[in-house]
Structure 1
């Protein structure tokens, strides 16, 4: 082990040491965990960072492909067993040895009682007994520590291999949904991992139970079989309950999937949801599922509580049955030896029976989760098509699921050809590209392609959370000359120059701080830089201005890509004459293939050069690092949790129940001692002992029900409710723009799962161990009060060990939670961009990236595991020492102590080493789990956006009567310390006017819309609608008075009716009429729409959004290039529809096709957040104006 100081210039708060390098350890260091000490010292002296933790050894890294190899021929669980069998076998062997050594205690108690009962008590015999027992119990602590450590290593290996194969499968299949995927990683993988981690103890349980029965048989003869009968009966009930648990577990996991998917849809599209004022609708969608989830979890936990009660009852009732049968049926007499050896064995039997419900639960959870992950692994992959130099389709029919979407396609595309595909909305243009990529299944016919493909869409552009430069390089080496040529050809130079850190600027999750046109060009630049043979271009020119489209077409498609095979889906008719051939699609079939010369061209694209500007300097980081508390979990967190849903009430009930349980159990055992010494009073002692034992078990049931069925679920329910409300109210620019979706989903899945599935069990376990330790000390001090002198010498070092451990484990737990969020971020990002990853053959690159993220998380767990094993070892040493001292003192004072007293005291004290160790570990687990409460609490205290409703809104029932809009010196920036995006914008829109907003991408057009909807608040200035300052209106009233038709429309899973009328305010006839008017009458209102409208074309999604606006019937409508993905003929019809169906409405339209706004009343020309020109478009086009230059590109 080596600790190397960092450069002195580095801040000590950031890092005090280089990563701990785990050199080859000596056997002594490994045995006693001395190698963990440097980490403990660092954590105790400075703020622990990820850099301080141990580097991960090679066998624990995610790069291992062993599991993937076994999965080729075996199901998941079998493959896991085969790939990790060596470490699993070691853990099982160590666990069984440790479990068997537990039963040295009753054997030594028997030997000690025999020794004390004899007339001749030689000191040497006593010393041998005490010495050999000391050696055994100390050796057991070493074995316990090694078992804990190797279990953690097995956990890390299984977790990494599972996460890897799940991620790897996601990159090659198109069937997984993000919400389901989150649960597979966060919940299902965890269930399987935990079973492997606890395998040593799980497998040891039958041996523990069997050996205990053997010891009891040796003491009370055939009376043990009466106890076995009771055990069999109880286990039969346990099996019945376990089957119920399995069924409800499967149901619960499906419902949980649905909730996470709904939450992902809500927070993934939160900007558009706020714009439509649909927060309540989407919140209700989540809450409906959540209500079902809570009721299912409550039933599941009720069964768990019943199981715990049943299995805690077994040792107590077994003791009663055995003793009664032995004395009443067999007519035998109990003596101290038989009583306390049997009692010790029964007390030791409590631990496996206490753990058995959890073990059974984990087995069934593992079974359910294995099936769920196996279903993903069995999902069909996107198969590589037959390779060919040219693209050939022969009588090819393609389907998405069971629905055929392309029929009898005969097509040959030659190398180096530029082929255009045109057609109406939904005719199958984009489907042709998906067929070439292999993203849709071929049902009949043949297809062969060269797999050296690049793909660049328009509205479905995908960008990673990273810098603009990394998005373009996409894992390829940087070639400076080539890179800047691509930037210029894709018309990105001016955009880069205005970004804070140029191309090193982080562009955020889903490209949150880029416009639609900028994302499309980044996606195109990525494809061009990839230097592939075939380019599939899905209408990338539709989301950019005409002069930008001309530049890209000339310098990119006809320039850098001149010798490539290019298939271009387009609606720009004026470029078709430059193409080699044109395919006309209709209803999923090729209607016609024609040469470009036969296509009538009205207008040529006119060249216009782009200007460069001086590059600003600044920070390019957008996504903020995750907040992390330091030090102890604050008492405020505990107080908030206890006040949440009356948790303190249920905890108080549980504490009282456990105190009574402990007192009653101790009283029962004291009665048992007296019974063994007063055999003539059996009729008196037997009913009392039976009453004590049964009564104590009823209090266990009270504790379990209070914590697990009531407190745990009620607090989880309340925390989810508060968390959901806080997140929904959080502002877009100050929270969502800088917070990855994976971080939010982490709170709603992993952290919430710990709160409502684990925390109650942990509190209950802590109470149990607290009472067990207290009972051990009280029982010993009753009969050996002078041993209290040793108590400070035991407690002080135990507290110091606890302090060192918790200081370290708490920070490691926080670091582990932070390192977990990138796993989810990367996973959800990969699912949404899987098509791009596959097409660009970047699967190995992304797998390596994912492995790096997994390894960082495993590194935290590796260090955590070392700390836990270290604590387990040294606490075991400490409590074993106390037991050894007691054993030795009994030998020294062998003539002065009662045999019954010794037997009873030792029966209680033998479990002390395990109980003390488990108490501290459970306390640490509790604090670590409270970190989840701390993390959710942070999100529950987010600063909200302005109120949705104000008391004054009741005066605005018919507002706006006259939909005028006035911008008065409006200034806006997205976040503090960033540049102004709007710089004093002022203009007036009269009621009923049609306003066209034009300007280069990124000039502030969309920002105006965000300010109108108060998605982002103005820094200064004002916006007035109907002479009312919108800052004085509730957000719901404001947003409900405006309809936004976006370039990338919000389409969610449900029916067409749900998407058109979420509030269920319109009649069936009105909805059908709207569908007919937007040319979607071929769909019924109950037509199923998949998530993100994946079963609709881009154009159909935009038409759906237009139909939604018609039904909303607001007086102000905002169009953000709403017809970008629609063919010219349909576009013309839509423009007429807008004129016809929105009379008297105030319309503001952002346009890239300037022809769509030439009949506007007013045109506002913007540049860099300022209004440069305002006027009638026909007048401006006749003058020497900026607009005139743009208007020359009309087509």
Structure 2
């Protein structure tokens, strides 16, 4: 350029160089903002994950709106940063349009002001050079900076994660259980001797788990006996907290010992199990674990797969042992109820199981593994009386005889069969001994035994999945254990739906409507078109200027040679020029015209800069608004969806829409869309300019346009489908990660990390393959576009040779525009296709906006009940049936229920696992599909709004769900009650002292899922919520399943006192809690088989003997004791009625 225009070239290059520090600054700013965006996106997605996991509790509490405000608040913070990032992107994209034009303008104006003549040769050589620089300095360079910034942010986030402290569990060697699949005699290196001290773990030593325990150590150099030794262990979950979780714990557990660990809620029972597993870090002391460890968690964890896969969990299939384990864990009857037996698919919310079924499958997994040490964390709390006795006698005492069995339990009636009993309280061991020695001691043990009125009561079907997944379908039609011999017809898990064909104009309309409607889009497009008009006018004015200078030079040359008239053709050519007519009209002199040319060129360049920047700001504002509206609409659609939707869609699939798809709509889609608009307007400008110069060029332009259209159409057929496949193959990765994190302690205890990693790799490879195919098709598309662009340039160039007579300015303009078109057409076509592909994210987001809602939240007119409703609490079930599937022909879980609950009556609801007890609660809250009606105080609940109904019924749900945030927010998200009332509720449920010990009291932070509280404590928080609502109807769905008997008795007394004037429905987890009920409803196979006062059912006055049989299974002493309780309560009620 210096050779062509001299020092004038320097001015334009300096201008471009000045952009480098600006672009660097913007790139650095992008890096900072990108990190903020990632953090705020993480916060929103984490919140959405909690909402999805706890959606049933949120619906029953009618908390959709307060959680919606939380999500909206998090979303506003996220969009605030995204808006700034979008502005920076808009500025960088604007540089593409005006930076080279400004550089050309500076160089040419400087060249003219220095007294030189701007010729076609000079002007379009400079333009060509700057177009080359434009690719690198205004497109690739800023893109490189932005992508480098985002890459650095990602690397820093990965680095932060990688630098977290790692657990020592299984670090030295994670055995691969799959190596023993071919032979039951293969030696599996899965027995460990480990010493866990502060920050270290000794090398693992392995024994053959298939040898008898008596032979352990023979011939392999290991002489340590099987067992566990704990010496002065001090441990805590949070190193910043002063109080220790476990304090000075010392235990010696020898081979062939059944040890029971008991204690009140929050005593540290589960923490002791976690310490043995190595999950709880120790501050001092040591734990020696000698032998293979197997583990059943307190909250049953199942991964997405068949029941058989969940039980085997990577272990080799041994049919004889498998059959025996299924029998000992009381799963035979359950398998006979499933259509596909043990091949029935379970998962987060597919064909779901009851809590008791989950607990027994989790126990079966632990028992199936051939181990020396079995850690069983309260597995009996989720099963009924008969099944509980079977599990304890047949599984723990019989099948696991000779093993080390550590059983955490609240079922004190089984303690007399334990070899050792450990009493824990506040992380300390109060005493260790046999049943007889402790009974004779002066500790609270004897008092606990006396206060435990039932001798054999256990929970029925407590669902306590840490992932928060709910269970609905209690029965799913069926085969038996004969399916063990079948190797085919395994049911396929429901796959995510994937649309086909083009996205459609309707999806673009939805996006633009979300951005502000037709008016806002009209103004945005007006600015886009105006910006392009200014840019094209500047390009064309440059041609006019060059032609004018060329004409003036010809005139001067001709005048000097012959003083003759200039060629008429030349005069006519420029005289008819648009800009020439304007100057001729104003009658400006030739010298003045030169300055006017510069002024016009300057005005067009400045207008291009400002209008282009304004266009970018307007567009990205609309894009952020569209993202906000689409996200809010999707949240509303999801939270209003029926529970069937959450049953049939794993949380990972739903989160995929809120994370990856929403991220595409937030950041990637606006960039692609403005790029497409900018490129196609530029192409339109180029076509117009080329057509003005030579209208014959419209012919090849139209032809190549048609070719490009069909190329793009052909490409989109493949790329669009591949993009959708990539999106759907991403969802299982989220689900797998979520499930793995939820069951991490179980996975580590079973040393099956490699199996889970292999499955993750398989899922990731599938997703990566789809993404690679998508990238490959994009590159192939770009190659063929380039080929046809080169052909088009050749046609344009040759056309001027064939024409012969044309001005240099016109030729230069046409060729430079065509050359500039090359990369632009390729990029534009690819971006237009990418826009179509990215719009699939909008399509997926909109799809969740239109999910079938469960019903109207708030009723209007006569259907809306008065604020005082219900005043009495009378509940009538009128021919009620319930199904969990929306199709009319689906099997009913509840069948033709017809009974009446009187005002202020206390009803106990009992029945075996799968009888339909929790389904009855679902029907009351309209969580499923009801037929018939439920009438409360003369109002049909089916005709009122869901919130109108749910706000008036207090619920203590099966799942003790807490949400991250403060304790106060968990109790009172609407901020309706004073602190004094909250403290009173906590005091009534015996949690006041626990909350007072927290650093900030009511404002103390709750971890995600309430993980910093025990399961029992979480249930007590749910009870406190019910106390605060003061409704006339209270439903307790196994509300005290995870608390010790002493706490249970205190809570029952509190409920009797606080809800004396309320109708109370109690699903029994211990039969003693329903013996003082006014009446007991016995459920079986979805029907109400008995409904009468407990004394009448026990004495044969009413009923068919089912309830009496359940009570007799608890033992003679307990039966007589509870019969006396029922008799006294019956007489009291009878006398009061008289």
Give me the TM-score of the superposition, normalised by structure 2: 0.82
Q: 1:290 aligns with which of 75, 89, 99?
A: 75
Q: 2:714 aligns with which of 799, 804, 818?
A: 804
Q: 2:8 aligns with which of 218, 223, 243?
A: 223
Q: Distance in 1 between matches of 2:779 and 2:1107?
A: 72
Structure 1 residues 1103 and 984, CA, compared in 2 at 3 Å: closer, same or farther? same
Counterpart of 1:445 in structure 2 is 285
Q: Distance in 2 between matches of 1:502 and 1:970?
A: 29
Counterpart of 2:584 in structure 1 is none
Counterpart of 1:158 in structure 2 is none
Q: Distance in 2 between matches of 1:777 and 1:437?
A: 72
Q: Distance in 1 between matches of 2:1078 and 2:726?
A: 58
Counterpart of 2:968 in structure 1 is 1057
Q: 1:900 aligns with which of 789, 800, 809?
A: 809
Counterpart of 1:336 in structure 2 is 120
Deviation at 1:672, TM superposition (A): 2.5
Counterpart of 2:936 in structure 1 is 1025
1:941-1090 alignment to 2 at 5 Å? Answer: 941-951=850-860, 952=862, 954-975=864-885, 976=887, 977-1019=889-931, 1021-1082=932-993, 1083=995, 1084-1090=1001-1007
Counterpart of 1:826 in structure 2 is 736
Query: SS state of the match for residue 449, structure 1?
Result: strand
Q: 1:1191 aligns with which of 1111, 1132, 1138?
A: 1111
Say if 2:350 and 2:648, in contact at 8 Å, map to a contact too. Answer: no
Counterpart of 1:281 in structure 2 is 66
Structure 1 residues 622 and 1164, CA, compared in 2 at 3 Å: closer, same or farther? farther
Deviation at 1:1148, TM superposition (A): 1.1
Q: Distance in 1 between matches of 2:34 and 2:1081?
A: 59
- Deviations along 1:771-803, one digit per CA (max 9) or x if unpaired, are 232233333332332233323432333222112
Counterpart of 1:627 in structure 2 is 497
Say if 2:306 and 2:343, in contact at 8 Å, map to a contact too. Answer: yes
Q: Distance in 2 between matches of 1:945 and 1:613?
A: 23
Deviation at 1:291, TM superposition (A): 1.9
Structure 1 residues 345 and 450, CA, compared in 2 at 3 Å: closer, same or farther? farther
Q: Distance in 2 between matches of 1:761 and 1:514?
A: 46
1:251 aligns with 2:88: no
Counterpart of 1:372 in structure 2 is 157
Q: CA RMSD in A?
A: 2.4
Q: Distance in 2 between matches of 1:347 and 1:615?
A: 71
Counterpart of 2:470 in structure 1 is none
Q: Distance in 2 between matches of 1:671 and 1:993?
A: 90
- Deviations along 1:1039-1073, one digit per CA (max 9) or x if unpaired, are 11111112321211122221222222222111111
1:563-574 alignment to 2 at 5 Å? Answer: 563-574=402-413
Query: SS state of the match for residue 929, structure 2?
Result: coil
1:347 aligns with 2:131: yes
Q: Distance in 1 between matches of 2:702 and 2:863?
A: 67
Deviation at 1:426, TM superposition (A): 0.7
Say if 1:497 and 1:615, in contact at 8 Å, map to a contact too. Answer: yes
Q: Distance in 1 between matches of 2:350 and 2:1068?
A: 21
Say if 2:411 and 2:457, in contact at 8 Å, map to a contact too. Answer: no
Counterpart of 2:641 in structure 1 is 730
Q: Distance in 2 between matches of 1:648 and 1:440?
A: 59
Q: Distance in 1 between matches of 2:710 and 2:248?
A: 77
Structure 1 residues 360 and 811, CA, compared in 2 at 3 Å: closer, same or farther? same
Deviation at 1:1140, TM superposition (A): 1.9
Structure 1 residues 508 and 217, CA, compared in 2 at 3 Å: closer, same or farther? same
Say if 1:275 and 1:1044, in contact at 8 Å, map to a contact too. Answer: yes
Q: Distance in 1 between matches of 2:5 and 2:393?
A: 96
Counterpart of 1:396 in structure 2 is 233
Say if 2:89 and 2:671, in contact at 8 Å, map to a contact too. Answer: no
Q: Distance in 2 between matches of 1:270 and 1:822?
A: 20
Structure 1 residues 1164 and 783, CA, compared in 2 at 3 Å: closer, same or farther? same
Give me the TM-score of the superposition, normalised by structure 1: 0.78
1:474 aligns with 2:313: yes
Deviation at 1:908, TM superposition (A): 0.9
Q: 1:1099 aligns with which of 1016, 1022, 1027?
A: 1016
Counterpart of 1:1158 in structure 2 is 1075
Q: Distance in 2 between matches of 1:979 and 1:414?
A: 51
Counterpart of 1:768 in structure 2 is 678
Structure 1 residues 358 and 647, CA, compared in 2 at 3 Å: closer, same or farther? farther
Say if 2:955 and 2:1035, in contact at 8 Å, map to a contact too. Answer: yes
Query: SS state of the match for residue 693, structure 1?
Result: helix
Q: Distance in 2 between matches of 1:565 and 1:419?
A: 8
Counterpart of 2:695 in structure 1 is 785
Say if 1:647 and 1:711, in contact at 8 Å, map to a contact too. Answer: no
- Deviations along 1:459-501, one digit per CA (max 9) or x if unpaired, are x221122222222222333332222221111112222222233
Unaligned regions of 5+ residues in structure 2, if any?
Answer: 170-195, 197-201, 205-223, 440-448, 459-474, 484-488, 550-590, 996-1000, 1119-1138
Q: Distance in 2 between matches of 1:556 and 1:343?
A: 86
Counterpart of 2:55 in structure 1 is 270
1:261 aligns with 2:52: no
- Deviations along 1:173-216, one digit per CA (max 9) or x if unpaired, are xxxxxxxxxxxxxxxxxxxxxxxxxxxxxxxxxxxxxxxxxxx3
Deviation at 1:621, TM superposition (A): 6.0
Deviation at 1:829, TM superposition (A): 1.6
Aligned length: 970
1:532-931 alignment to 2 at 5 Å? Answer: 532-600=371-439, 615=478, 624-679=494-549, 682-708=594-620, 710-733=621-644, 735-892=645-802, 895-931=804-840
Counterpart of 2:1049 in structure 1 is 1132
Q: Distance in 2 between matches of 1:347 and 1:606?
A: 83
Structure 1 residues 448 and 943, CA, compared in 2 at 3 Å: closer, same or farther? same
Deviation at 1:431, TM superposition (A): 0.4
Counterpart of 1:56 in structure 2 is none
Query: SS state of the match for residue 984, structure 1?
Result: strand
Say if 1:511 and 1:519, in contact at 8 Å, map to a contact too. Answer: no
Unaligned regions of 5+ residues in structure 1, if any?
Answer: 1-215
Query: SS state of the match for residue 1003, structure 2?
Result: coil
Query: SS state of the match for residue 849, structure 1?
Result: helix
Counterpart of 2:1124 in structure 1 is none
Counterpart of 2:213 in structure 1 is none
Query: SS state of the match for residue 910, structure 1?
Result: helix
Q: Distance in 1 between matches of 2:1005 and 2:5?
A: 69
Deviates further, 698-707 or 355-364: 355-364
Query: SS state of the match for residue 814, structure 1?
Result: helix
Say if 2:747 and 2:753, in contact at 8 Å, map to a contact too. Answer: yes
Q: Distance in 1 between matches of 2:957 and 2:22?
A: 59
Query: SS state of the match for residue 379, structure 1?
Result: coil
Q: Distance in 1 between matches of 2:1068 and 2:786?
A: 73
Deviation at 1:356, TM superposition (A): 3.8
Query: SS state of the match for residue 904, structure 2?
Result: coil
Q: 2:19 aligns with which of 234, 242, 247?
A: 234
Counterpart of 2:348 in structure 1 is 509
Query: SS state of the match for residue 346, structure 1?
Result: helix
Q: Distance in 1 between matches of 2:613 and 2:310?
A: 57
- Deviations along 1:143-167, one digit per CA (max 9) or x if unpaired, are xxxxxxxxxxxxxxxxxxxxxxxxx
Deviation at 1:260, TM superposition (A): 0.9
Q: Distance in 1 between matches of 2:667 and 2:422?
A: 57
Deviates further, 983-992 or 638-647: 638-647
Structure 1 residues 578 and 921, CA, compared in 2 at 3 Å: closer, same or farther? same
Say if 1:311 and 1:357, in contact at 8 Å, map to a contact too. Answer: no
Deviation at 1:270, TM superposition (A): 0.7
Say if 1:606 and 1:1192, in contact at 8 Å, map to a contact too. Answer: no
Structure 1 residues 450 and 682, CA, compared in 2 at 3 Å: closer, same or farther? farther
Larger Rg: 2
Q: 1:1110 aligns with which of 1016, 1023, 1027?
A: 1027
- Deviations along 1:1074-1101, one digit per CA (max 9) or x if unpaired, are 1112111221322321111100111111
Counterpart of 2:567 in structure 1 is none
